């Protein structure tokens, strides 16, 4: 409800920043999680954020994987958490270390912290529609006839034994996080309401982008590359 105090992760990036703006403009009081002071300075001066500084608190958590680091920032009447932060599909020499494992640990850290905080009424975690299907279904050769399979929120795609690309690791990270979340909710039976969002590709204005490189750094780049023929 408007005027409730909520905590949001991932505000320094595309979707998280838009979530922050919409929450503030809807009248919520927000504790926005960032990793360092530099991110705070960049975000608080933004024209969409500046008018709402009285309803905004910055929370610096250098390590989002550490469960106990959330505890003090959920005190004081926080009623909801919107968890957006998650590793992107970046090229690395260790997909498990840099993409898969952090995503699951981060999600569980948020859930455990919320479970220890009686005031939390709802936790919203942004996952992805890629968790519904297999990597081969998405990127493999097209079947000879249309695949009319209907996927629902109960579906969870298979996880590859070993990711062979950054995008496959991203699929695995989102899927394993959903599996871990399901297991947590069934075992711990927390009192808060849980919502898992499964968006497909997200397009729209990137209000943090200040140059072409910034615009190309998220899903919008797919459209722009096609339009620019690059």
Percent of the chain with pLDDT over 70: 90
Q: What angle do CA 30, 115, 22 make, to 5 degrees?
A: 20
In contact, 66 and 75? CB cutoff 8 Å: no
The pLDDT tens digits for 32-59 are 999 999 999 889 889 999 999 999 999 9
Dihedral through CA 152, CA 107, CA 126, CA 172, nearest 10? -60
Residue 89: other Cβ atoms inside 10 A: 16
The more confidently predicted of residues 91 and 135 is: 91
Contact residues for 153 (Cβ-Cβ < 8 A; gap 6+): 196, 198
Within a 13 Å sphere around the CA of 4, how many CA atoms are in the beta-carbon half?
16
Domain extents in the chain: 5-228
In contact, 59 and 84? CB cutoff 8 Å: no
| pLDDT confidence tier of residue 1, bands split at 50, 70 and 90 | low
Measured distance between the N- and C-terminal CA atoms of the chain, rounded to whole angstroms: 44
pLDDT at 230 over 60: no
The reply to whether CATH 3.20.20.100 applies to domain 5-228 is no
pLDDT at 174: 95
pLDDT at 225: 66
Question: Which tokens is 207 given?
Answer: 């209000």
The pLDDT tens digits for 91-110 are 999 999 999 999 999 999 99
- For residue 158, give the nearest of 180, 183, 176 by alpha carbon: 176
């Amino acid at each position: 409800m408007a005027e409730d105090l909520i905590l949001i992760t991932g505000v320094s990036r595309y979707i998280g920043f838009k979530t922050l703006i919409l929450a503030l403009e809807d009248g919520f009081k927000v504790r926005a999680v960032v990793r360092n002071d530099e991110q705070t300075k960049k975000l608080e001066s933004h024209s969409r954020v500046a008018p709402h500084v009285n309803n905004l608190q910055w929370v610096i958590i250098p390590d989002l994987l550490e469960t106990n680091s959330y505890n003090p920032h959920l005190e004081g009447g926080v009623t909801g958490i919107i968890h957006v932060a998650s590793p992107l599909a970046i090229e690395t020499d260790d997909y498990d270390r840099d993409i898969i494992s952090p995503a699951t640990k981060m999600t569980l850290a948020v859930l455990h912290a919320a479970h220890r905080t009686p005031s939390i009424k709802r936790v919203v975690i942004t996952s992805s529609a890629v968790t519904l299907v297999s990597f081969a279904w998405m990127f493999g050769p097209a079947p000879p006839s249309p695949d009319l399979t209907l996927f629902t929120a109960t579906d969870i795609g298979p996880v590859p034994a070993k990711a062979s690309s950054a995008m496959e690791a991203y699929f695995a990270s989102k899927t394993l996080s959903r599996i871990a979340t399901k297991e947590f909710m069934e075992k711990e039976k927390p009192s808060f309401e849980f919502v898992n969002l499964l968006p497909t590709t997200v397009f729209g204005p990137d209000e943090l982008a200040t140059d072409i490189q910034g615009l190309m750094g998220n899903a919008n780049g797919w459209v722009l590359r096609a339009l620019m023929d690059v």
